[in-house]
Amino acid sequence: MSGDSVAGREVSATHIAQKPLVSTVVAFLNAEKYLAEAIESVLAQTYDNWELILVDDGSTDGSTQIAFRYAGHYQGKIRYLDHPNHQNRGKSVSRNLGVRHAHGEYIALLDADDVLLPYKMEQQVEILESHPEVGMVYGPVEEWFSWKEDPEESDKIQKFPLPQDCIPEADALRSVWVGNNPRCLPATNGTLLRRRLALSVGGFDEDFRNFEDMVFWVKVSLEAPIFVSSHCWGRYRQHAESSTAVQLRDGMLGAKRLQYLERVEALLAAHGLQQSKTWDSIQQQLWPSRHPIKMRALEVFYALRRWVRQLRLRMIPRRKSQKAL
């Protein structure tokens, strides 16, 4: 995590009488349609020992005013930060700013278009308090379509293909994460981690604007055990303006995923983990882009083999009919 060169402007810096145990960081950019609902889901928590840090990444819509209003009304509980000159610095820089200014022992992350379920903090704090060796806890979230008047799909909860309500082996966990199934990954609003761990791994990579949370989870897993729960603690809003939907629409998702795999590969190499399931999975996925000529030759070979098989199938009935004559 970089130095505090982006100290940020802070509103509602009233002295906090009780040190909050959970600091929830919401980094937002032009999220006026959803921000208030995200904030209200924090206010609705059954666990009260928290603070909320709203980090404005240079918004130009009404979300800045929404954040100011909540920070003013809940002084000492909700704080507002932004970058010098109200700059847009990216989600990673904004999240790191919030983590640096957090007072809590634990960090919860919440995207501005998502919400927390009421028992999220209470149950996750209980797990981390019961497992001091664990650095992070996460569980599945609900893919949320029903917020629309006319949803195109039904809500569904993530299904993890790994042991739950336990601490899985780290390599097995990472190998699932780097697989090509986005429903296996931790969602930001489904996690809670220790602040000292977030700081020790350097926070979010500030030069990485896509899949930055996935890289961060891998960094955390390389330093501390992770508890995987079966409990659902958040709703992950599905909409056309989300970063994943935009990348998919622009045809950039594949290229960004390759960059993510290469970043994780470098992390594993730095920790001497070239002999691991995660490493093997990454190599398999990166092979086509690193060997395009060989990949093209294989595609031609398999196409020819399919053609030969189809030709044989067409000739077999003809041979039979000739024998009958």
Distance between CA atoms of 105 and 100, rounded to whole angstroms?
Answer: 12
Residues 234 and 319 placed together within one structural domain of the fold = no
**1, part of any domain:** no
Mean pLDDT of 259-283: 95
Does 201 share its domain with 295? Answer: no
Kindly report, residue by residue over 8-55, the tens digit of the pLDDT.
555 544 444 456 799 999 999 999 999 999 999 999 999 999 999 999
CA distance 162 to 89: 36
Find the angle CA(311)-CA(314)-CA(315) to the nearest 5 degrees: 90
Q: What is the pLDDT of residue 158?
A: 86
Same domain as 198, residue 120: yes
At residue 166, what are phi and psi to the nearest 5 degrees? -160, -175
> Residue 43's pLDDT is what?
98
User: 305 is in which domain, residue-wise?
Assistant: 291-324
Quick one: average pLDDT of 120-133? 96
Environment class of 18 (CB within 10 Å of its CB; exposed 0-12, middle 13-18, buried 19+)? exposed
Question: The whole model's pTM is what?
Answer: 0.83
> What pLDDT score does 13 carry?
44
Give the CA-trace dihedral at 307, 311, 313, 319, to 10 degrees.
Answer: -170
Contact at 8 Å (CB) between 216 and 204? yes
**pLDDT at residue number 266:** 96
Q: What is the mean pLDDT of the chain?
A: 86
Mark whether 314 and 210 lie in a shared domain: no
Based on the structure, what is the number of domains in the chain? 2
- pLDDT, position 152: 74
What pLDDT does residue 323 have?
54
- pLDDT at res. 246: 46
Residue 58 or 248, more confident: 58
- Domain co-membership, 306 together with 242: no
CA torsion, ordered 268, 272, 277, 283, to nearest 10 deg: 60
Are 224 and 141 members of one domain? yes
Q: How far apart are CA 236 and CA 214, in angstroms?
A: 16
136 half-sphere exposure, CB direction, 13 A CA radius: 30
